[in-house]
Amino acid sequence: MELIDRLRLAGSEAREGETWSILLDPATDRTAAIPGAVLEAQFAWPGGILVFTTQDAPFEEQLDLVMLAPDLRVLDRATLAAAYATGALRAAEPAGEDRVSFSFFGRDRWLAICQRAPVWRLGWPRPPGLRRASGLRRWLTVERPADG
């Protein structure tokens, strides 16, 4: 993983109680609709791009992790949120070729792992605060390491 700074958010709209924005790659003029009002971090890896966005709601913040193909197709998404909980993305850093380590709720540690191909995963057990859309195939794995 490599921290990058080439993508931008361009325009937003409310959808089902969340803010969604248009993610733009100025180098290619490609776009993607993704959840979030603030682009917090972006990482490139050989299989695509992983972006972190927040809704800009300080007292009930959520962090969206969106995995994109190189052409900006959305491959997978995960959300970290808890009712009445504050959160801020901290210490987001590469932890290998296909993973990023970060904190969101205080001093917790999380690991986002990008898969080169979708893997079969059951929806449970799931760490508290992690939300996913239904489905058994995942391109993006989000977990709490044993020491996190």
pLDDT digits (tens, 9 = 90+) for 73-126: 999 999 999 887 788 999 999 999 999 999 998 889 999 999 999 888 766 667
The partner residues of 44 in beta bridges, in order of sequence, read 2, 49
Residue 148 lies in a domain: no
Provide the token pair at 36: 């979030």
In a domain, 17, yes or no: yes
How far is CA 21 from each of CA 15, 39, 132, rounded to the nearest angstrom? 10, 9, 19
Is 93 part of any domain?
yes
Q: Which residues contact 95 (CB under 8 A, 6 or more apart)?
A: 1, 101, 111
Q: Cβ neighbours of residue 87 under 8 Å, at least 6 residues apart?
A: 54, 61, 62, 63, 80, 81, 104, 105
- pLDDT tens column, 20-61: 999 999 999 999 999 999 999 999 999 999 999 999 887 788
Range of the domain at 85: 2-143
Q: How many domains does the chain have?
A: 1
